[in-house]
Structure 1
């Protein structure tokens, strides 16, 4: 089954794994040690991240190194970015509303 980046980032454990691997290359065991879930559960998350193309595995002797492929996160970034302006406008509108309420309150005192 081919998965996409949105399936990968939908789970908080996978988001944490992505964050960890964004700063260092780790073995599967080193990643598993950072979580309080079973090694098989971590392996399942890593498999999904690999199927999504977000990580790759490199064999180094008996160890499998996990490497992040940051370019595969671009579609998610672009999707989120399109809503940035919308939320900035809403926050600005709310700030203006609060300022108007404060001005009315001061004028009524």
Structure 2
């Protein structure tokens, strides 16, 4: 399929890739800055915050910037809102932002927060 100027759909895909999927230094720098300054909003649900965080990780991956699982867990932990510092979800731990958790512990925390959020509705 071609448009009035003889350009086919492949040409348009290349243009979109050039502008939106670029791996330029500026884009990588911008995405890294967003990751380092990412903070979970207290007005959003846990899932919305985690989805936004995962979107950012995916965008970095698309820009050929790999973030290790351990670093992702640290960034996610740092991004937690202040209210979560005092969270005692299951009665067996209290989270402080300075504690480094393994990725599976972060995922357990997210699951506990989802349960807590559902119970509060």
Larger radius of gyration: 1
Determine if the TM-score, normalized by the shorter chain, exceeds 0.5.
Answer: no
RCO comparison, higher one (Cα < 8 Å, 6+): 1
TM norm structure 1: 0.27
